[in-house]
Structure 1
Amino acid sequence: MFQAAKQTSKIQRHDKDDETLHVENGSTSYRLSLYDQPPLYDVTVEEFETSALDRLRILAEIESSAARNRTMEETKQMTIIQCGKYLPLNSNSASGVDIQAERRKDQLGHFVLRLAFCRSAELRRRFVKAEGTLFRIRYETDDSKERAAFLSSKDFNWISVDADEKEKYEAQLSHFVSNKTDPNAFKNETFYKVRWSTIPDLVEKRKVFLKGGFAYVPGREQASIIYAAFEERLEAALLATSRAIPLVDEETRLNPILDNLAQGFTAGVPSDWVGSGETTGEGITADMVDSLAKQHFPLCMRVLHQNLRKDHHMKHFGRLHYGLFLKVLGLSIDEAIAFWRKSFAGGPGADKFDKEYRYNIRHSFGLEGRRMNYPAKNCLQLHTAHEAGCPYRQLENSPENLQSALLSSYSAQGLTVDDLPEIMSQVRKKAYHVACTRVFEITHPRQVRKGDGLGDGESVTHPNQYAAKSIELEKEAKEPKMEVDN
């Protein structure tokens, strides 16, 4: 389906009066798209993955917004910001941007995610809902002239109600005219007929007139027909893709990518800055870790730290996950050895420590063995870990233990029993990163509001992201404010 080679698409413009952009090989002529034509060009495996990951960042935050009960306006503003960072998509009239590259990435990312999310009814449902919201936001923010051209280019299976039919049902249709004080309002109002089953939201809200199996939709509600058509067609396309997925399963290089993408709604997509093993914070010492853990660590790393202090020992995967987390947080190799040696006090002697643990510590810093500078584990990786993983996931079936862990870890930072029902509701929805994000908001009330996430609308997708942002907010709060002379 996709080849590991690049092929250049062509852009062709008509005369100056036609602002429609025609892009060959699977892209679209408009910013809006029903994604009815798959990409037909060759792509690299890297482009295959990165285009899908960047789109998944947007969709995961849209689903996170729904889980956090954000309003549609709040979701729209967050999505616009996220799209600007990861998935810009400009109108045809835009200048100074590569519209062809934007459309190509948008199309490719959508179709790759179809492969990832078509495999079960639940994944299909969540994908359609998130994509439908993204389409709605783009529709509402689109250039009006280009939007009208897009609508005229597609068949949405509606029937325009003519003057005779309007007159026949004037008594019923006049209730749906927006400006009832205008004597010409009904005459100027446009109505469309569609099968009532395609717009259940308008039927439920009694915003349409029903007759003979059809719903008469006023022009101002036209968008609802379009949103419903988008989701209906996407659902059908996902079912068709699910039947063809065995053909893709033969491509072993793609299976791990698709499997990871399918878990993106559960853990979010890690931010770019945590993609390497390089330190992202300022240098810290072994003696600082206790204080940092009490103030800034997410639950996964805080539990590991508490168990280490209690047991003076930690199993292999715990040492691996916690050691990489501390490394990226800013603990140098010398300080890391000092930290672990002190943490194991009363355990192994100096010789045994050097023999059994020192090598592994140096190995994680890329100083032994293959000499790879390993990155810290992100939330997605911790969700699938059998040991020392995400507590929200691992304690999901032990709610009492999870609530006790939350209270013992965060009560000093303001988390109370009254906060637990909201957090646990996210855990039951398997929105573990949303639950973690809500804990961050509760424990940083002066810096972020409910729904703000880490302060910029993003959810927690990496333990180091949580800790680094918490430390940053504390430093900003302590910095003296500049006084401006009048």
Structure 2
Amino acid sequence: MFKSTDRKVFHDDKELAQVTKHSPVKYPYRLNFYDRPPLYDVTVEEFETCALDRLRILAEIESSAARNRSWEELKTVTNKQCTNHLPLQTTGTQELLESQRRKDHLGHFVLRLAFCRSEDLRRRFIKAESTLFRIRYDGDNTEERQLFLNSRDFNWIPVDAAEKSKYRRELLASYSGSKNESVREQAFDTERYYKVKWTRVPDLVEKRKVFLKAGWAYVPGKEQSSIVFQEFEVHLAKALELTARSLPRLDEDSRLVPILDNLSQGFLAGVPSEWSGSGEAINGDEIKAEMVDDLAKRHFPLCMRSMHDNLRRDHHLKHFGRLNYGLFLKVLGLSIEEAVVFWRKSFDRITDDKFNKEYKYNIRHSYGLEGKRANYAAKSCQQLLTSGPSDHGCPYRHFSLENLQTALLSTYSSRGLTSADLPEIVATVKAGHYHVACTRVFEMTHSSFGVKKGEGTGGGESITHPNQYAAKSMELYKVQQDSAEKMLVE
């Protein structure tokens, strides 16, 4: 399915396969039902990048649902994510608009491949994609939105004036609007109606917003979007089932399967960027080995704090615990020289000779100074969630609920977390939204810094990386300290 140049061509059916694969794809509208797959060549890198950027948005949408955000809050957070990762402008050069819509188109189809594998993944993907479509629909230019609707056959039947007059009393009874009767009737008189089978608008039937007659639902124009949203969901559900049946053909491609496996984990803990922040950049001073104890108490997420406490208790960590915690400290700003000092003092029950022979090489290796000299990144929440036992994974997933609550109180009670906060965290963990639980803990333990519920690390963004948690905590602390020093000077 890939050519020797590592380019991929998607073919759906025989008719589409006849389209010249190098011909440009036109996207006249921001809104898209994704009827046709991309028929052009893409590199493996573009294949993955487009999907990841889209997945960041969908993962944040699911996190928002788990956090019970209001519709307006959800739109704000999602629009911010779209601006950062998947902008779809309404104005600009034709080349810019085509490029943005091409990326949107490609990312959607790649994620179809990743999320068509099980009923649960398909359900979550449909819900997130439908929410994204609805947000775009609500924010779209009125004229362009109407052009998009006119370009598709939604199989609705316009209700003429005679039929509207015939059922005026019934239609008016279900018409929502102003409490002022004369104002409501005036708005009703100018409203257009459409007939569809009642099964296509179950949400409107449930809320009694439509008049039902002989199996038909009379939908007012202002509720027309309900038909569009339902059509989008039904269309996507059928497409995912079709994709699932075709997916086994990809098993032979060793380059695609690992990418799709990784993408399918995206709802588990969001999609982090490769974290590049450092403690030095935040604090202005290099992090020293003797500072780690204090930093752990003030700023570390539960996963890294647990590793640190285990290290202090046992004077040792198992291999993967050392690897994960060491990379975390490296990205936090601990230099290789200070890292060697930190680990040597931590392993104070072994001889220098044993430390140098069995541990020092691995420390230098993680900093890219030995072996293949790679610059290893710190593990993200997603990687910790999918890793093994609790001594180096995510406590929210691997700890029992009883142990988790005990760990939270013993770790964060001095930061304002109380037993009254635990039921909300436990409920989120039971629902499988582990990174959302971690985000709530961050908000609760940083309320004294002005962090409010729903804000996350800023702008509503959830925690998706341990270093993101620590860096934001250190940043807030520095701002507070600078403010206090400024007040003393004044």
Question: TM-score if structure 1 supplies the norm length?
Answer: 0.91
Q: Is 2:284 the partner of 1:286?
A: no
Q: 1:279 deviation in Å?
A: 8.0
Residues 423 and 438 in structure 1, CA contact (< 8 A), matched pair in contact too = yes
Provide the rounded CA distance (Å) in 1 between the counterparts of 2:23 and 2:203.
36
Residue 131 of structure 2 corresponds to residue 130 of structure 1: no
Cα distance in 2 between the residues matched to 1:30 and 1:458: 29
Amino acid at match of 2:396: Y
CA shift in 2, pair 1:280/1:41, >3 Å: farther
Q: Which residue of 1 aligns with 2:454?
A: 451
Structure 1 residues 465 and 51: alpha-carbon distance in aligned structure 2, compared to 1, 3 A threshold: same
Q: Does 1:114 align with 2:112?
A: yes
| Residues 27, 39 of structure 1: 8 Å contact kept | no
Alpha-carbon separation, structure 2, partners of 1:5 and 1:147: 37
Relative to structure 1, the CA distance from residue 280 to residue 251 in structure 2 (aligned partners, 3 Å threshold; closer, same or farther) is farther
> How far off is 1:176 after superposition?
3.5
State the Cα distance separating 1:277 from its structure 2 match.
10
Contact 1:277 1:376 in 2 (8 A): no
Instruction: Tell me how far 1:353 sits from its aligned partner.
Output: 0.7
Distance of aligned partners of 1:382 and 1:454 in 2 relative to their CA distance in 1, 3 Å threshold: same
For the residues of structure 2 that align with 1:381 and 1:30, how far apart are their CA atoms? 37
**Residue 318 of structure 1 aligns to which amino acid in structure 2?**
G
Q: Distance in 2 between matches of 1:350 and 1:373?
A: 27
- Unmatched 5+ residue regions in structure 2? 10-21
Q: Work out whether residues 2 and 43 of structure 1, in 8 Å CA contact, stay in contact via their aligned partners in 2.
A: no
Structure 2 residue corresponding to 1:392, chosen from 384, 390, 396: 396
In angstroms, what is the RMSD of aligned CA positions?
Answer: 2.2
Instruction: Give the corresponding residue for 2:481.
Output: 478
Name the aligned partner's letter for residue 250 of structure 2. Answer: V
Distance in 2, Cα, partners of 1:321 & 1:207: 55
Taking the TM superposition and a 5 Å limit, the aligned residue runs for 1:405-424 are: 405-424=407-426
Q: 1:52 to 1:278 in 2, by over 3 A?
A: farther
Q: Deviations over 1:188-230 (max 9, x none)?
A: 2211111222222111111111122221111111111111111
Query: Hey, what does 1:374 align to over in structure 2?
Result: 376
| Cα distance change of structure 1 residues 279 and 471 upon mapping to structure 2, 3 Å threshold | closer
Offset at residue 418 of structure 1 (A): 1.0
Asked if 1:84 corresponds to 2:86, the answer is: no
* Post-superposition CA distance 1:367-424 (Å, at most 9, x none): 11111121111111111111411111112xx210111111111111111111111111
Distance in structure 1 (CA, Å) of the matches to 2:188 and 2:444: 51
- For residues 71 and 402 of structure 2, the distance between their equivalents in structure 1, rounded to whole angstroms, comes to 34
Question: Residues of 2 paired with 1:393 and 1:7: CA distance?
Answer: 37
- How many angstroms apart in 2 are the aligned matches of 1:111 and 1:130? 14
2:230 pairs, out of 225, 228, 231, with 228
Alpha-carbon spacing, 1:280–1:64, altered in 2? closer, same or farther (3 Å): farther
Q: Decide whether the 8 Å contact of 1:277 with 1:373 is kept in 2.
A: no
Report SS of the residue matched to 1:98: helix
2:175 counterpart of 1:140:
no
**Which one is further off, 96-105 or 287-296?**
96-105
Match of residue 170, structure 2, among 169, 172, 178: 172
**Alpha-carbon distance in structure 2 between the residues aligned to 1:194 and 1:164:** 18
Percent identity between matched residues is: 62
| CA positional deviation for 1:26 | 4.6
Pairing 1:28–2:52 present: no
Match runs of 1:120-269 below 5 Å: 120-177=118-175, 178=177, 180-182=181-183, 184-269=186-271
Q: Which residue of 2 aligns with 1:50?
A: 49
Task: Say whether residues 1:314 and 2:317 are aligned partners.
Answer: yes
Higher normalized helix content (fraction of residues): 2
TM-score w.r.t. structure 2 length?
0.91
CA, structure 1 residues 339+410, in 2 after alignment: closer, same or farther (shift >3 Å)?
same
Indicate the SS of the match to 1:215: strand
What corresponds to 2:17 in structure 1?
none
Superposed CA deviations along residues 336-381 of structure 1, whole A, max 9, x for unmatched, are 0111111111x21111111111111011111111111211111111
Cα deviation, 1:414-452, whole Å, max 9, x if unaligned, reads: 111111111111111111111111110001113311011
Aligned in 2, Cα 1:251/1:5: closer, same or farther, shift over 3 Å? closer
Within-5 A mapping of 1:417-436: 417-436=419-438
Distance 1:122 1:479 in 2: 48
How many residue pairs match? The answer is 464
> In structure 2, what is the Cα distance between the partners aligned to 1:186 and 1:377?
58
- 1:323-338 equivalences under 5 Å are 323-338=326-341
Residues 1:320 and 1:185: Cα distance change in structure 2 (over 3 Å): closer
Q: Aligned partners of 2:279, 2:328: CA distance in 1, in Å?
A: 11
In structure 1, the residue matched to 2:364 is 362
1:441–1:450 Cα contact (<8 Å) kept: yes
Who is 2:14 aligned against?
Answer: none
Deviates more, 1:93-102 or 1:261-270: 93-102
Aligned-partner residue type, residue 89 of structure 2: N
Instruction: Give SS of 1:133's match.
Output: helix
Q: 1:57 and 1:354, CA in 2 relative to 1: closer, same or farther beyond 3 A?
A: same
Counterpart-to-counterpart distance in 2, 1:426 and 1:176: 38
Taking a change above 3 Å as real, the CA distance of residues 27 and 112 of structure 1, as seen in their structure-2 partners, is farther
> Relative to 1, partners in 2 of residues 1:119 and 1:338: Cα closer, same or farther, differing over 3 Å?
same
